[in-house]
Amino acid sequence: MAGTAKRSGVELLKETSRFLRGGLAEELASGGSQVTEDGYNLLKFHGSYEQFDRDTATALKQRGEEKEYSFMVRVRMPGGRLTAAQYLALDALADRYANGTLRITTRQGIQFHGVVKSDLKPAIAAINATLLTTLAACGDVVRNVMSTPAPVRDAVHARLEADARLLSERLLPQSRAYHQIFLDEAPGEDADAEPLYGTTYLPRKFKIALATPQDNSVDVLANDLALIALFEGGTLLGYNVALGGGLGMTHNRADTYPRLATLVGFVGPDDLLRVAEAVIRLQRDAGNRGDRRRARLKYVMDDRGLAWVQRELASYFGAPLAPPRPMPALQVPDLLGWHEQGDGRVWLGLPVPSGRIADADGVRLRSALAELVGRYGADPVMTAQQDVLLTNLDPADRQPIKALLRDHGVALAEVLTPLARWALACPALPTCGLALTEAERVRAPIVAALETALTRHGLAQERISLRITGCPNGCARSYAGDIGLVGRVPGAYAIYVGGDFAGTRLSFKLLERVKQADLGAVFDPLFAAFAAERREGEAFGAFCDRLGAEGLLARLPEARSAA
């Protein structure tokens, strides 16, 4: 079990890093475009990944030249909330230090790509100057805490936002390493810096999200710790607690798999932080520190069993958790378009394809957003769908806002099909070192191919979630929607279907390897069967779940050989 396995190299690094310091300060001060392997692994805890441009790497290698190294920097923002001033400051940094784009992540964060090594420290310092941080945006710690993004001005939403902030702040690493390395705080050592995490932090990343049954737009069950708030008349009764969600898997390793969190209990409103700390301690002590591919809480859940986990959790928490309370089925509301906030103001949910805020291909989205945020003081909220909600708008400004967006070539949600509205894609190539295929850069043609097939069968307005990832890690939660396309080998995807829109049922693999160019042709007969055979009100994912792989393949005879 966890304690007896040989520990991985990253474990030894963490332990000897003097609470995340290692030689990072010296490495950043030295020249060159890269950091060492130890520097690479420690840098994650500070919110950055070293990457290289995979588009140019082969040609450069052939010429005997160095790859184009740069860094991804991830900003942590609980519940995706930013003030208008913070957004404008980040927007300015995209030009000063990065590749001129900002990217909304599937966990409501913002990433910069293309930061060169010599700019890393000033870029991170500049982010901190906006009262945001990159600390623990990556690494074996609690990541950005997600929460329902809807900017509804009522007690329910205010409480969720406050609780997401509370968890995010209280579960940050306590070491001063980050402040000393990036913010010029006077150097010094922490004697015992991490009362919660300890010297080796967690075995792996740890994800927390808060949702309500009425708004699961964060895919709460994909998290290690899923907290589902139950309210009565605006008063928080408490949280149903579910453990062990996580979607990453490794091809050809059957002992790795996506998993949705399992309900384990219920806690009152004042026990939120205490239960989160108890779960973190449990995973800290029981998680696998020998094999990083099996180190998430989900494997503790399955290896040890629910009864063991509940007993253990009770001892960390100080008492057994109350049984989970009955709750309505989880739902995902549509937050795009215009909505009343409840305080006389409105928000506008704007689709951002793959979350990439850029001025490109005749669409000046980045300029439009900066102008809207600046002119109308709209505090933006990032969603787990990689979209942005512009909040606190005056209803009287709708027309000029629409005109501004039109002038910048930005499409409003209302002109998109539901498929385009709900499609997610991870960054994949050229920045992600783990990508096997394209994702973000082929989102548009894939959406178009599937839209054509849907239209042919009268399904253009059908609400279907499509999630594309360049590898099996599932960063766009490809196993938790109606359709998942998972990069398998260059140019080809495994097709997953049968999940549900609300994120409560995982999908299954239908086909192992389908070329991108063939996706439309493969989905066409599936959509035809769905249109002809669906039951009243049945969604595409539910239809696929009902028929199962065999039933679907029977409607797709030529695809059998590929399965």
Catalytically annotated residues: 74, 143, 205, 207, 426, 432, 471, 475
Q: Following CA atoms 274, 276, 282, 284 in sequence, which dihedral angle do they give, to the nearest 10 degrees?
A: -120
Picked from ligand SRM, ligand SF4, none, the partner binding residue 80 (CB below 5 to 8 A depending on kind) is: none
Does 432 contact ligand SF4 by CB under 6 A? yes
Does 439 contact ligand SF4 by CB under 6 A? yes
Tokens at residue 453, please?
């097939």
Asked whether the beta carbons of 471 and 486 are under 8 A apart, the reply is yes
Does 426 contact ligand SF4 by CB under 6 A? yes
Q: Which residue is nearest to ligand SRM (CB)?
A: 248
Q: Binding marks (x or -) toward ligand SRM, 310..329, rule CB under 6 A?
A: --------------------
Does 489 contact ligand SF4 by CB under 6 A? no
Rounded to whole angstroms, the Cα distance separating 421 from 530 reads 20
Rounded to whole angstroms, the Cα distance separating 282 from 241 reads 14
Does 139 contact ligand SF4 by CB under 6 A? no
User: Which span (62-70, 148-156, 192-200, 431-439) binds ligand SF4, by CB under 6 A?
Assistant: 431-439
Does 471 contact ligand SF4 by CB under 6 A? yes
Cβ neighbours of residue 46 closer than 8 Å, sequence gap 6 or more:
20, 24, 124, 134, 135, 139, 177, 178, 181, 182
Q: Binding marks (x or -) toward ligand SF4, 344..373, rule CB under 6 A?
A: ------------------------------
Residues 326-385 that bind ligand SRM (CB under 6 A): 355
Whose Cβ is closer to ligand SRM: residue 281's or residue 296's?
A: 296
Whose Cβ is closer to ligand SRM: residue 390's or residue 475's?
A: 475
Cβ neighbours of residue 450 closer than 8 Å, sequence gap 6 or more:
419, 466, 483, 519, 520, 523
Does 475 contact ligand SF4 by CB under 6 A? yes
SS3 state at 339: strand
Whose Cβ is closer to ligand SRM: residue 349's or residue 503's?
A: 503
Give the up-direction half-sphere exposure of residue 479: CA atoms within 13 A in the CB hemisphere. Answer: 19
Asked whether the beta carbons of 389 and 347 are under 8 A apart, the reply is yes
Tokens at residue 133, please?
């941080």
Residues 84-123 that bind ligand SRM (CB under 6 A): 105-107, 109, 111
In the complex, minimum distance from the CB of residue 445 to ligand SF4, in angstroms, rounded to a whole number: 17
- Residues facing residue 69 across a β-bridge: 52
Picked from ligand SRM, ligand SF4, none, the partner binding residue 246 (CB below 5 to 8 A depending on kind) is: ligand SRM
Does 259 contact ligand SRM by CB under 6 A? no
DSSP 8-state class, residue 82: -
SS3 state at 13: helix
Rounded to whole angstroms, the Cα distance separating 77 from 297 reads 23
Rounded to whole angstroms, the Cα distance separating 114 from 95 reads 10
User: Which span (118-126, 189-197, 415-423, 466-474) binds ligand SF4, by CB under 6 A?
Assistant: 466-474
Whose Cβ is closer to ligand SRM: residue 251's or residue 555's?
A: 251
Does 391 contact ligand SRM by CB under 6 A? no
Q: Which helix (H) or strand (E) holds 43?
A: helix 37-45
Q: Binding marks (x or -) toward ligand SRM, 409..448, rule CB under 6 A?
A: -----------------xx---xxxx--------------
Q: Which helix (H) or strand (E) holds 225?
A: strand 225-232
- Residues facing residue 337 across a β-bridge: 349
In the complex, minimum distance from the CB of residue 74 to ligand SRM, in angstroms, rounded to a whole number: 6
Q: Which helix (H) or strand (E) holds 364?
A: strand 363-364
User: Which span (243-251, 260-268, 405-413, 459-467) binds ligand SRM, by CB under 6 A?
Assistant: 243-251
Among 238, 380, 427, 541, contact with ligand SF4 (rule: CB under 6 A): 427
Does 473 contact ligand SRM by CB under 6 A? yes
Picked from ligand SRM, ligand SF4, none, the partner binding residue 144 (CB below 5 to 8 A depending on kind) is: ligand SRM
Q: Where are the strands (E) in 39-130, listed by range?
A: 48-52, 69-75, 102-104, 110-115
Pairing of strands 466-469, 483-489: parallel
Task: Enumerate binding residues for ligand SF4 (CB under 6 A).
Answer: 426-428, 432, 434-435, 439, 469-471, 473-475
